[in-house]
Amino acid sequence: MFQGNWPRALTGASTAALISFYGVAPVLAQDATYRLGPQDIVRIDVFNFPEFSSTQTILQDGTVSLPFVGTVSLDGLTLKDAGTELSRKLSPFLRSPIVSVILSSARPIRVSLVGEIGRPGSYTIGGQQFAGTGVAAAELGTIGPAAQPLITLTRAIQLAGGISAEADVRRILVQRGQEQYRINLWNLLQTGDLSQDLRLADGDIVRIPTAILPNPQEAIEVASSNFSPTSITALVVGEVLRPGPQQIPPGIPFNQVILRTGGFTSNARRDKAQLVRLNPNGTVTRRVITLDFNQSVDPEKNPLIQNQDILIVDRSALAVFSDTAQQLFSPFTSFAAITGLFRTFNNNRNR
């Protein structure tokens, strides 16, 4: 177990390594400011007295219970102050008690995310939704098996389906009552600036703007970050070998998704395909993409696929003509229909 202080600044590589190893981004600097309240789940450790140690949910009146002591109010206290208060309460019964309080799961908060986000809307988020191996005992600078309690901006973005390829991650705005916080998540990715991963509070509104000139390479890096979903679903329909829903990692462009279906059928139109997208504002856009499997990521020529995108591969003109001819001259086609078709053709020719 590591004990000590985190460096003031982490490089992008070291941050990525920590995220990969522990599964979460370190947010130690923010734990010290967290104030406890009802529905927080805390681990109370009394050194050398395991019978006094326990994991408890803070009650609606802001209290927890200790043997011999009874109820103790922790409402509004930081983790450090809570440990000090519990030590004071235990002093008549134990000699120089050492008490540490660890936040195992933060109380639920309600936040709204709007703009270039996968699933915009309001979310009630609890710390237990991010339970797993993570950062614990922030006051002591220790790491070990524990829940990652704090609800940060990147975790809310992840829960809401990740940000879109058109998002401007340098100008994210968090509105908290009359206050506004401007966040640059690109700095978090590049330099490990953990101050950009703001801890969210109840009632926060997160606004993710559209980039004026989206950068495809930046979009790929953002898509592969820990605050993007691990996979997204795109629907491929039409003339491909394996049509249907495709589970893909974020950051995959249009042409690569088609290749993941096994390629075209013999009847496919191979020069163009369609992209249908449900936008965050509720509108639907349909675009025709010229297919070039040597094309790198490009917002117009080979865009990154987003969750719930629909890719349509049409039949070729020859296949459509063949289908029409087959229906026309099948044994089940009525004589009247054929003669009517020729009659129409002759009438048009004589005009």
> Taking the chain (351 residues) in consecutive chunks of 10 residues, what is each chunk's mean pLDDT?
34 38 36 85 93 95 95 95 96 93 89 90 73 31 42 87 82 93 85 82 92 68 62 89 90 90 92 86 84 89 87 81 57 49 51 56
Strand order of the β-sheet with 179-183 is: 121-125, 109-115, 205-208, 172-176, 179-183
Q: Give DSSP secondary structure letters for 167-195.
A: B-TTSEEEEETTEEEEE-HHHHHHH--GG
**CB atoms < 10 A from the CB of 277, how many?**
17
Let me know: does 49 contact 100? Beta carbons within 8 Å.
Answer: no
Position 142 scores a pLDDT of: 31
Position 14 scores a pLDDT of: 38
Amino acid occupying residue 34: Y
Position 319 scores a pLDDT of: 62
Position 326 scores a pLDDT of: 59
Position 32 scores a pLDDT of: 75
Let me know: does 25 contact 18? Beta carbons within 8 Å.
Answer: yes
Residues 6+ apart with CB under 8 A from 22: 133, 134, 135, 143
Position 220 scores a pLDDT of: 65
Let me know: does 311 contact 272? Beta carbons within 8 Å.
Answer: no
What are the respective helix, strand and coil percentages of the chain, to the nearest 5? 30, 30, 45
Record the tokens describing residue 326, joined without a space: 């087959």
